[in-house]
Amino acid sequence: LAQAEAGLRGSPGECARCDERSSPGPLHRLGPLRAPMESQPMEARSGQSEVKSVSAALREAMEQIKAKAPKKSKDLKDECTACLEKLDAAAAAGTTVVADGYMKALKLACEAVGYPKIVSLALECIQKLLGNGFSGSGPDVLKEGGTVVGAGRRRLIDSVIECICECAEQATDETIQLQMIRTLLAAVTSQVSEVHGASLMLAVRTCFQLHRDSKSAMNQRTAQASLMQMLNVVTQRMELSSADISKRSVSFQEVGEVTRKASKVMVPSDLALLPPDKLLNDWMTAYLTRVIDEVVLSNSKGDTLGSLNGDSAPAGKFGWCVVCRAGAAHYCVDTKDPVCGHACKYRNLERIALVETHFGARNADEDRAVNVAVGVGAESVESAESPTMIIEPTSSIPVSEATTAISEVPPKMVSAPSVDEANLDFLVEIIGEKNLNLSHSDALMVFSNLCKLSMKDLPQGQVVDMRLVRSKRLALELALSMLQNCGPVFRSSEPFILVLKKQLCISLIKNSVSPMPKIFGLSLQIFVMLITSFKEHLRAEIGVFIEQIFLRILESGNSQYTHKHRVLQVFYKLCTDASTALELFLNFDCDVDERNIFERMIDCLSKIAQGKYTSVEHANIIQPHQEQELKMLALQALVTLMGSVVDWARRMGEAQRSAIAALPVVEAEPGEEKREESDGEDDARSDSTFATSGGMSTSAASGPHHSIVEQKQRKHDLQIGVNKFNMKPKRGIEYLRQNGFVTDEPLAIANLFRNSELGLDKTAVGDYLGEDKALNKSVLYALVDSDDFRETDLDAALRSFLSIFRLPGEAQKIDRMMEKFAEKFCNDNPERFANADCAFVLSFSLIMLQTDLHNPGIKNKMTKDDFVRNNRGINDGEDLPREYLERLYESVATNPISLKEDDEARNRLESQAAQGSQKLELFARETDLIVQKSQELMQKRSTRQKSSMYVAAQSVEHVRPLFEVACWPMLATLAVLLEMHDTPSSVELCIEGFKHCIRIAARFDMGTEGDG
Alpha helical stretches, state H, 151-216: 156-166, 174-189, 197-213
Q: Please provide the DSSP assignment of 678-701 as one string.
A: P----SHHHHHTPPPTT---HHHH
d(CA 693, CA 661): 10
The DSSP line for 394-458 is -S----PPPSSBGGGS-HHHHS-TTS-HHHHHHHHHHHHHHT-BHHHHHHHHHHHHHHHHHHPPP
Nearest Cα to 356, choosing from 482, 206, 246? 246
DSSP per residue, 831-857 = TT-SSHHHHHHHHHHHHHHHHHHH-TT
The number of C-alpha atoms within 13 Å of 725 and in the hemisphere containing its C-beta is 29
Is the Cβ–Cβ distance between 334 and 254 less than 8 Å? yes
Whole-number CA gyration radius for the chain: 34
Q: How far apart are CA 267 and CA 525, in angstroms?
A: 48
How far CA 853 is from CA of 298, 542, 850, 864, 893, in Å, comes to 60, 41, 5, 11, 7
Alpha-carbon distance of 664 to 601, in angstroms, equals 44
The span from the CA of 126 to the CA of 65, in Å, is 13
Catalytic residue, chosen from 810, 878, 921, 936, is 810
Side chain identity at 93, as an amino acid letter? A
The C-alpha atoms of residue 123 and residue 245 are separated, in whole angstroms, by 41
810 belongs to the catalytic site? yes
| Contact yes or no for 897/847 (Cβ under 8 A) | yes
CA distance 108 to 142: 10
Tally of CB atoms within 10 A around 580: 19
Q: Indicate the DSSP class of residue 32.
A: -
Which secondary-structure segment (H or E) carries 863? none
Q: Is 268 exposed, middle or buried (0-12, 13-18, 19+ CB in 10 A)?
A: exposed
CA distance 483 to 241: 18
What b/e sequence results for 501-540 when a residue is b if at least 16 CB atoms lie within 10 Å of its CB, and e otherwise?
A: bebbbbbbbbbbbbbeeebbbbbbbbbbbbbebbbbbbbb
Q: How many angstroms separate the Cα of 383 from the Cα of each of 20, 252, 333, 693, 820?
A: 42, 15, 5, 8, 58
- Give the active site residues: 810
